[in-house]
Amino acid sequence: MRKPICLLLPLLCATFLVAAGCLPEEEEEVFDEAAFKAVNEYVREMSMVLRDTIPDLRGWVREYYVEDLPLTYDEERREWLREHKENIEAVRNKFRENDFPTEEEIAEWEVVVARGEQEWMLEGEEVNAALDKLDELRLEVTGTIEMIERAEGELDMEQSEKVLELIEEIEPVVEEVRAVFFR
């Protein structure tokens, strides 16, 4: 009786190994690290170029030193603002028009990010919301520069107030967006 059991044991082991090989493998989700780095770099560079506009938006040339408003911008200042607009658009084009991940791809992200001793879960929806906020700010800054250009640097009170509100908004929005990525 022992012989048949000894013969069956290798047969059972072989059957188990073949069956185990036939089991569907658990699909391991592959994270696109290059896409994550592209988003990271985009946020870093766009943050810098948006912040760089603040001094030139603030640095209006006043005809009358008694009043600050309405704002006026001389030709040199307007040229600097045009350069800022070009830089902003260049950063956008550099990243968003190439191999930048889609909103759908980003929405699926769940990434543990570690910076220094801090570690947190970065979720795609949060990333998309931050990118939307950064894009809105980009459009507002470039739109304001275009408004200054159309007015040939001579703003009325309403336009001046819009510029002043934007100046106050840039830094907090940039910090809020950067906090998502660079806590």
At residue 29, the pLDDT reads 57
The pair phi, psi for residue 140, each rounded to 5°, is: -65, -40
- Structure tokens that stand for 101 in this block: 């991940």
Among 155, 40, 152, CA closest to 100: 40
CB 124 within 8 A of CB 106: yes
Q: What residues does each domain of the chain span?
A: 39-182
- Structure tokens that stand for 93 in this block: 């084009």
pTM over 0.85: no
Q: Which residues contact 108 (CB under 8 A, 6 or more apart)?
A: 124
Helix axes 75-96, 124-150, angle to 10 degrees: 150
At residue 115, the pLDDT reads 82
At residue 9, the pLDDT reads 40
Cα–Cα dist 57/82, whole Å: 11
At residue 67, the pLDDT reads 61
DSSP string spanning the chain? Answer: -HHHHHHHHHHHHHHHHHHHHHSPPPPPPPP-HHHHHHHHHHHHHHHHHHHHHHHHHH-PPPS-SS---S-B--HHHHHHHHHHHHHHHHHHHHHHTSSPPPHHHHHT-EEEEEETTEEEEEEHHHHHHHHHHHHHHHHHHHHHHHHHHHTTTB--HHHHHHHHHHHHHHHHHHHHHHHHHH-
- The series of mean pLDDT values per 10 residues for the chain, 183 residues long, is 44 43 50 89 97 88 58 93 98 88 94 86 95 98 98 94 95 96 85
